[in-house]
Chains A and B, each alone.
Chain A
Amino acid sequence: MKRVKPFNPEKFETNFIVAVALLCAGLLIYLGIQGPLFEGNIVYKTHSTVYNQLIAQDAVNTFIIAPILIIGALALYERKRLGRYLLVLTPLFLIYYAISYMIGWEWMAMEYQGNSQNYFFYFLGVMIAAILIMFYCLGAFPPRQKPRFTKRILVSYSAVLIVFLSLFAMMWSKEIFQVINTGTARGYDLSPTAFWLVRCFDLGFTIPLGFVSLYLLWVKPQSSMAVQMLFMGFSLA
């Protein structure tokens, strides 16, 4: 009688994430080609000067993030440690990107034309893929790593990061107070939705995450490697 192999969820999950990461890389490359960097088929409902930023985003997605996903997926398929180290760099960056591109346009402005809504499901696909990769990566790092950080370097790194995260927060807060007091700020009149979206994400997500990861690095370094890598990937990419 033929023996039925028991279902191995770990093998299934790993292979599933490999497929998801490759699919996500394909979506990013497709969106990069269709976007303003190459074909210009995707038109975003925003001011033309914002396109400088969109070109840069497409370039980073196509030439940095997609290759990281592809190499990470292939390494994961080969069951190499490199796979999880590469894939963990991408999820938070991709979630930020996908949400921004799905909702961050001037939908009410009659003077701007756009068709990015036609690509909604591609962005949604990137977001779902990123969430799946994130949950996989959170469980992929051993829970009890024994890190060894030099105290002196840890103190210096923490101090410098605190200063610059605070500077970053003050920079965005200053512009928000400017809008509150005067009704406008740099770039605000041209693309107010993008203005609020970026400040909302950075002040409510990026900067708090930076402080949380720093706290965990001091208090729970053994169990926070996945969070450290998620934050580092997000901040770096």
Chain B
Amino acid sequence: MSVVVNAMALVMYLNNDPSFELSSSLVFVALMVIVSVGYFFILRGYGKRKLNP
């Protein structure tokens, strides 16, 4: 949900939406960064490993 929520926040900010709240948006930006890092961490963890010769 983080990409869509951040996209929503961006459109709200650009259109001067009164319900836009910077603090909430920052939490979602932070969540997106954490989840993105976690995604690559998990992909790497489950990824195929080279066998030792």
Q: Which of A187, A228, A237 contacts B42 (CB 8 A)?
A: A228
B1 touches A49 (CB 8 A): no
| A93/B41 contact (C-beta < 8 A), A52-B12, A53-B8 known | no
| A52/B11 contact (C-beta < 8 A), A96-B1, A164-B27 known | yes
Binary contact track A120-164/B, C-beta < 8 Å → 1, others 0: 000000000000000000000000010111000110010011001
A157 and B11 alpha carbons, distance in the complex (Å):
30
Q: Which of B3, B31, B38 contacts A232 (CB 8 A)?
A: B38
Instruction: Give the nearest-CB partner of A175 in chain B.
Output: B24
Q: Which residues from chain A contact B19 at a C-beta distance below 8 Å?
A: 49, 186-187, 190
Q: Which residues from chain B contact A212 at a C-beta distance below 8 Å?
A: none
Q: Which of B8, B38, B43, B49 contacts A161 (CB 8 A)?
A: B38
A148 touches B11 (CB 8 A): no
Give chain B nearest CB distance to A170 CB in angstroms: 10
| A232/B1 contact (C-beta < 8 A), A55-B11, A59-B7, A60-B7 known | no
Q: Which of A55, A93, A235 contacts B31 (CB 8 A)?
A: A235
B1 touches A171 (CB 8 A): no
A157 touches B37 (CB 8 A): yes
Q: Which residues from chain A contact B41 at a C-beta distance below 8 Å?
A: 149, 153-154, 157
Q: Which residues from chain B contact A49 at a C-beta distance below 8 Å?
A: 12, 17-19
Total interface residues in chain B, CB < 8 Å = 31
A164 touches B34 (CB 8 A): yes
Q: Does B4 touch A at the CB level, under 8 Å?
A: yes
Q: Which residues from chain A contact B32 at a C-beta distance below 8 Å?
A: 236
Give chain B nearest CB distance to A213 CB in angstroms: 9
Q: Which residues from chain B contact A190 at a C-beta distance below 8 Å?
A: 19
Q: Which of B8, B12, B42, B43 contacts A57 (CB 8 A)?
A: B8
Instruction: Give the nearest-CB partner of B14 in chain A.
Output: A52
A56 touches B7 (CB 8 A): yes
B27 touches A167 (CB 8 A): yes
Residues of B within 8 A of A (CB): 1-4, 7-8, 10-12, 15, 17-19, 21, 24, 27, 30-32, 34-39, 41-43, 45-46, 49
Residues of A within 8 A of B (CB): 49, 52-53, 55-57, 59-60, 64, 85, 93, 96, 145, 147-149, 153-154, 157, 160-161, 164, 167-168, 171, 186-187, 190, 206, 217, 221, 225, 228-229, 232, 234-237
Q: Give 10 nearest A-B pairs by CB, closest first.
A: A56-B7, A56-B8, A53-B8, A235-B35, A147-B45, A187-B19, A149-B45, A60-B4, A56-B11, A232-B39
